[in-house]
Amino acid sequence: MPGANLTRIEAEERKAIVKGPIRYNVDLDLTQGDTTFVSTSTITFNAKEGTSTFLDLIADEVTAVRINGQDVAPEEVFDDSRIQLNDLKDRNEVTVTALCRYSTTGEGLHRSVDPSDGNVYLYSQFEVPDARRVYAVFDQPDLKAVFAFTVTAPASWIVTSNMPVSRTQDLEAMTMDGTLGTHPAETTKRWTFAPTPTMSSYLTAICAGPYAEWHTTYENEDGRTVPMAQYCRQALKDDFAKDVDYLFDITKKGFAYYAKTWGVPYPYAKFDQIYVPEYNAGAMENIGMVTIRDSYVFSSKVTDALAERRVVTVLHELAHMWFGDYVTMKWWNDLWLNESFAEFTSTLATAEATEWKDAWATFCSGEKSWALNQDQLSTTHPIVAPINDLNDTYVNFDGITYAKGASVLKQLVAYVGRDKFFAGIHNYLNRYGYSNATLADLLHELEGTSGRDLATWSKQWLEEAGINTIATDVAVADDGTIAALMLKQTAPEEHPVLREHRLAIGFYDEDQSTGKVVRTDRIELDVDGAATPVADAVGKPRPALLLANDDDLTYTKLRFDDDSLAFALDNLYRFDDALTRAVIWLSLWDMTRDAELAARDFIDTTLKLLGTETESTTFRYALSCLSTTVWHYTDPAQRAKTASRVADALLSLAMQAPAGSDTQFQLVSAYLSYGVEGDSRFADNVRGILDGSLVFEGLELDNNFRWTLTHALAAVNAIDEQDIDAELKRKDTTENREFALGARAARATKDAKDWAWNEAVHDETLTNSQLEAVAGGFAGTPNSELADAYVDQYFENADWIWSNRTFHMAEALLEGLYPRYADPAKLTEAGDAWLAAHQDADNALQRLIKANVESSHRTQMVAEFNASLGELNA
């Protein structure tokens, strides 16, 4: 559907024609069956006399179009996902009635059926521009409008939208066209919602179904009482009830923190949070009604990292009510204004307003590592990215837009000063409330409060891609004091910009009384250019470790001096501060990925860290990067032996971990990913945990953990399809069906992989979450022989997938089915050939493939490096 891929030029042209005030009256009839619904939208707007433009609409059928009082044959104006509007007047009214389709892909109006009770749940997801899947609309962020929704649905359902319900109407004695008579569905009701404030279409929302509900209120800083609600599926209500008061409390703390920090109270009429099934993202900031993936409703034990991530997600979406919703970017090139700010400020709020005080360590280990990975690909882009069309936007919901942008904002706060920064944000929100703004508008307000000229800063940090490296070069005098300390900055050849950094250098030594490594001194300074001398360090005793970017104030790669590196490798687990450990560990990981640190050294340091680490997200990512190192970066000739050694170490650490602890849970879970076909001892251990003969005190064998064990057995062919089916029969739920599909796809047989490939690519009855489960099971088995068989198939099918699936499903397939355990030489040869033959392919498709192929190039490079070191380093 080329018409669905709106270009920036088309959006600018339409903006020049369509003028406010714009108002939508949208009527949705959700009682017409299981596959489609009726959508009627009436749009009033001003325009230049005699001009032409178009509405966006993705629909099965348009049944009626009325333009300025004249009925128009739908086939004359509806084509290629657009409604053509010709010969416009100064003031226009257009009504479009269409038959639209429910999705099972998490796009538009998603319909999910819970197998545990048969309940049907609907929810909308409109970002980037999928409001057009539900009603006719000018679907671009700078054509803000007022929206009034009316929804007809079963009377037993709950229906929610951006605004409170203004009235409901019982339709027992009405036909579907609104006239009196016998109604074929006597139990329907019509909900009419209050008109919204002026807002962008991608932030509108409708949710409907028999959701369980909880309510409270918040006394807003402007004197209003704001109604609050939480919703989830009926099947999850008992588990959610345990957390709902806590989540209300977190949200209220967020309200207070943001209002105080920005000096702008929460601006909307209500605030709902609705936890929905089969969600594509973590959550979505619909005005007044945030949708959140219901995997955040915890029915089984989860890591503390995930529990903290839920808090950050709640606060992230709440931050959007101001930054993104109240003030919205004009076009998607300023998407970072939404996402970077929400990511930065939700981490700040988590650290300062909740019990998760180490949130910046979480950010460093989790989010920042994501950014560093993506910023070293050829597909990297400036934070303010060039966005030529909607497909460019889709692939920019990435580590650059979220994590790098948030890290750079943290750097900006250090650069201009916290008080001046938030004073500028206050002015920005007040000036552009309910309208659209650009990067230039934001910088103007920050320059006004800080007195800093931010043009150079913006050019370096926001408008240039790539990441710098800062290395520490130290000379020591005979008496053990520092004779000279130099910070040397470099940049990659393809992005040769040296940036100005505000950072701190930390001095770390062992505290003899505690045995911990602690900070003994700190120097904060500006770093600019290729070399920056640190005069204040001269004459100070040389510490055991010098840490540039102490407190993680800037965004950069780090390289240690030799003595500091040796100390870090031996003693990382002894550092007393979680953020310091995260900064050092991330640098060691980066060196490993760059083939500058032996895999053996990274593995040994990480295993020691896992014995004492208390910050759950650092622990989680250390386990993840340990796995990547073992299965991809080690010498292939020594890989099996290394994997066995690491698996034994993880099992031993798990046995020593405190009973019922997060550490124990993560270690056992990680161990379960190290099975290989034919390892009878591994299979016996997993069966032992499952049947109770191998006991980890305090480790509960709950639903999700049983499926983790089942998946582990499937991956080594220790159970068959019947065993998986039997596990599903114990409790047939939405989540467990996904677990079962993943387990079936994980089996290490050619038949299982063929089945999984065919299901993922061709079975369009799979929901987005089911497809992701199948793809994850398919590609997640560490068996290179099996993976090799799909290298050619992957690249042969890439074009078909891109052309025949929606963006989100194509992205899930192209990322999830990539046979990453195949021989990297085969992957790079086939991938390079595909890219050479597809230089004219859609930019978004090229980016997805390039990211995969370049990861294989890195795998090949790092594995060859470690092979060159010999057996002692394996």
Backbone angles phi, psi at 722, to 5 degrees: -65, -40
Burial group, residue 496, by CB count within 10 angstroms (0-12, 13-18, 19+): exposed
- Both tokens of 384, joined, read 């303010």
- Please give the positions annotated as active site: 317
Q: Which residue has the tokens 């910023």?
A: 375
- For 825, other C-beta atoms within 10 Å of its C-beta total 14
Question: Which residues are CB-contacts of 851 (< 8 A; sequence separation ≥ 6)?
Answer: 374, 377, 379
Structure tokens at 404: 């790098």
List C-alpha distances in Å: 538 to 396, 481, 503, 534, 542: 44, 7, 18, 7, 9
Instruction: Answer yes or no: are the C-beta atoms of 97 and 62 closer than 8 Å.
Output: yes
- State the distance between the two ends of the chain, measured CA to CA, in whole angstroms: 51
Sequence-distant (6+) residues with CB within 8 A of 601 are: 569, 873
**Environment class of residue 479 by beta-carbon count within 10 Å: exposed (0-12), middle (13-18) or buried (19+)?**
exposed
- Give the neighbor-by-neighbor strand order of the sheet with 271-276: 212-219, 225-232, 271-276, 289-293, 283-284
Residues 6+ away with beta carbon under 8 Å from 239: 297, 298, 299
Question: Alpha carbon 50 to chain centroid distance?
Answer: 44
Question: Using an 8 Å Cβ cutoff, are 450 and 416 in contact?
Answer: yes
Using CA atoms, how far apart are residues 372 and 364, in angstroms rounded to an integer?
10
Read off the tokens for 324.
């993104």
Nearest Cα to Cα of residue 766 among 818, 699, 707, 812? 812
3-state secondary structure of 858: helix
Q: Could you give the C-alpha distances from 92 to 66, 70, 138, 148, 510, in angstroms and in order?
A: 11, 11, 14, 17, 74
| Angle, helices 734-746/703-715, rounded to nearest 10 degrees | 20
For CA atoms 708, 713, 717, 718, give the dihedral sign: negative
Integer Cα distance of 118 and 108 in angstroms: 22
Tokens linked to 621:
């990512």
**Upper half-sphere CA count for residue 653 (Cβ side, 13 Å):** 26
